[in-house]
Amino acid sequence: MALILLAFSLLILWVVLLGPIYSFIRDDRHLKSFPSPSIAGYSSLWRIYQNFRYKQFQAVHDAHAKFGTHVRIAPNHVSVCAPDAVDQIYGHGANMLKDAWYEGGAGEARTMADTRSKPEHQDKRRRMAHLFAAKSIVQMEALLRDRTQCLFRKVRDAGAAKEALNVRRYFNYFTIDVISAIMFGEHLGCLERGNDLVDAETRDGKVYTTPLIRSLHAGMRLSVPLGYEPDLLPITRQLVKCLPQKPASKGFDDIVYRHVRKVLRRGYSSSELTRSDGYRDFITQFLYDKDGKPTNVPLKEILAETSGMLNAGSDTTSTAITNTIYLLYHPSHATILQRLRADVTPVFAACQDMDDLPSYDKLSSLPYLRACIDETMRLRPSSAFGLPREVPRGGREIAGKFIAGGVSVSVPTFSILRDKTIFSEPDRYFPERWLPEGDGHDDDPRLRKMKKFFVPFSTGPRACIGRNIAYFEMTMVVATVVHWFDFAFRDEDVVKEFRVLERVNANPDELWLYPRVREAVQ
């Protein structure tokens, strides 16, 4: 056993440190000319360490401030913080595939989000496009309204009891309930219960409850560093089994298994599964075609895709909602909140009572509401670090510098969204920047330029497929909360600095607020 451990340790030392130092000296891919912070040029340990500090995006941002547009952030990775690089790396014509980092989070079967193969991705995206089409999203309105109303009641009850509410968690319960209702046809009841303890099932049929958010985050904590040394995965996957995060992250797989199995046990019956509003859950749509014939998609593929959606569809959106509420209620943004309320209030005026909500159609046409949400995603993007892509054979010129084939490249999302050449006063929360100037047409070149480089959902063939669902959720929740509630911050420290804990997504810290129904609308 001791010999095996020694062999493992020597192998890891070689792959993580000695091998890269050797490659650094040989410099086959001509990367020596790119500056790098600390040991990043010859060891991935720099990035792994920054990820352990929950601050990779910030460390890369600081490195760009010090070294300029092209920075070597790992032995085989150049981060390029330049507007031209966005299209050159992610655009439709770029033909750059996801790099091997995505192996770290991938399971037995590939999902639309983690497959690196272009034909496989195109096939999956084509097969699933209709689930995210405008027509399908309209059919989700009833379930979204139901969850927004439940969230509203929880905030109101906390206000009546004069209790502080951790809104970060409640927004996450909201997004989990919404995405589970979309996926499984029934929500997981997190909002009602006020917790994320949900049923999970092992492959041998043992049912237990486990906290969804903690299991998801535990998995993310492991997948990011593992992906930075993809060649070591056969070994590191075994080693991490000893870490406390591993059983926790297994809980997430068991949650997915439990709820997919429930849909499978239910079987197909159009009368049961098609709601009165015409909505049919995603899993049923994976399993059966529109005439009720089985599609024979293998179970492992359904599990993988469900897991990907439950993850991508809940963590990012709750991050964006939490950040928006934080910024809007921050004492230094009182005039922004006032202006937003002036916009939103007339739409709510037509509602019967407190339990009534305006239609998404009406709320989505409010430009200032959209501006406040977009400005949040610019300043505090849910996905903040550069999404890695591999330069094709032959190499490419990226933002004026040649980078050899096989090298990984990325544009750091957090940093490009603060680029002074695109966004004036980039550190300021200033929703007005998103409104057209002058005659109200949005063909003004300043706005066109900002929109071109507004990449919180990424861009090109691998851009977020769920962005319309995300806007739907964010719009309904932000409008409802802003219209009905005042909030007081429980913790002064949070007013000064709202911490980010970057796992895969740049998650905000806990946010405890005292809600109160606004006197003006009672």
For binding to ligand HEM (CB under 6 A), which residues are involved? 112-113, 125, 179, 308-309, 312-313, 316-317, 320, 382-383, 387, 456-458, 462, 464-466, 469-470
Q: How far is the CB of 503 from ligand HEM (least distance, A)?
A: 14
Q: How far is the CB of 266 from ligand HEM (least distance, A)?
A: 21
Nearer to ligand HEM, 125 or 266 (CB): 125
Q: How far is the CB of 458 from ligand HEM (least distance, A)?
A: 4
Q: Which residue has the tokens 């996905």?
A: 383
CA nearest neighbour of 209 among 253, 251, 259: 251
CA nearest neighbour of 326 among 364, 386, 375: 375
Bridge partners, 288 (sequence order): 294
What contacts 470, CB < 8 A, 6 or more positions away? 313, 316, 317, 320, 457, 464
Nearer to ligand HEM, 37 or 185 (CB): 185
Do strands 506-508 and 500-502 pair parallel, antiparallel, or not at all (unpaired)? Answer: antiparallel
Nearer to ligand HEM, 158 or 470 (CB): 470
Cα–chain center distance at 290: 30
Calpha distance 356→360 (Å, rounded): 12
Q: How far is the CB of 500 from ligand HEM (least distance, A)?
A: 14
Q: How far is the CB of 281 from ligand HEM (least distance, A)?
A: 12
Query: Minimal CB distance to ligand HEM: which residue?
Result: 466
Please give the span between the terminal C-alpha atoms of the chain, in angstroms, as a whole number: 70
Nearer to ligand HEM, 357 or 464 (CB): 464
> What string of DSSP letters covers 222-267?
HHHHHHTSGGGHHHHHHHGGGSTHHHHHHHHHHHHHHHHHHHHHH-
Nearer to ligand HEM, 20 or 221 (CB): 221
Tokens standing for 456?
């919180």
Calpha distance 130→110 (Å, rounded): 20
Q: How far is the CB of 498 from ligand HEM (least distance, A)?
A: 17
Nearer to ligand HEM, 43 or 221 (CB): 221
Calpha distance 329→482 (Å, rounded): 9
Nearer to ligand HEM, 168 or 462 (CB): 462
Q: For the chain, give the number of residues.
A: 522
Nearer to ligand HEM, 9 or 122 (CB): 122
Q: How far is the CB of 181 from ligand HEM (least distance, A)?
A: 11
Nearer to ligand HEM, 41 or 98 (CB): 98
Calpha distance 270→290 (Å, rounded): 9
Nearer to ligand HEM, 40 or 387 (CB): 387
201 sits in which H/E element: strand 197-201
Q: How far is the CB of 452 from ligand HEM (least distance, A)?
A: 16
Q: How far is the CB of 187 from ligand HEM (least distance, A)?
A: 14
Q: How far is the CB of 521 from ligand HEM (least distance, A)?
A: 27
| Sign (positive or negative) of CA dihedral 215, 216, 221, 224 | positive
* Phi, psi (degrees; rounded to nearest 5) at 463: -70, 160
Q: Alpha carbon of 97 to those of 100, 102, 114, 205: distances in Å?
A: 9, 11, 11, 38
Q: In this structure, what DSSP letter does residue 70 have?
A: E
Q: How far is the CB of 252 from ligand HEM (least distance, A)?
A: 16
Q: How far is the CB of 207 from ligand HEM (least distance, A)?
A: 26
Nearer to ligand HEM, 37 or 308 (CB): 308
Q: How far is the CB of 450 from ligand HEM (least distance, A)?
A: 17
| Sign (positive or negative) of CA dihedral 70, 74, 77, 83 | negative
Nearer to ligand HEM, 113 or 371 (CB): 113
Q: Alpha carbon of 480 to those of 152, 354, 357, 487: distances in Å?
A: 8, 10, 8, 13
Nearer to ligand HEM, 104 or 308 (CB): 308
Q: Which residue has the tokens 């090298």?
A: 407
Cα–chain center distance at 231: 26
Q: How far is the CB of 143 from ligand HEM (least distance, A)?
A: 13
Question: What's the 3-state SS for 173-198?
Answer: HHHHHHHHHHHHCCCCCHHHHCCCEE
Nearer to ligand HEM, 377 or 407 (CB): 377
> 167-184 and 212-227 helices cross at what angle (nearest 10)?
90
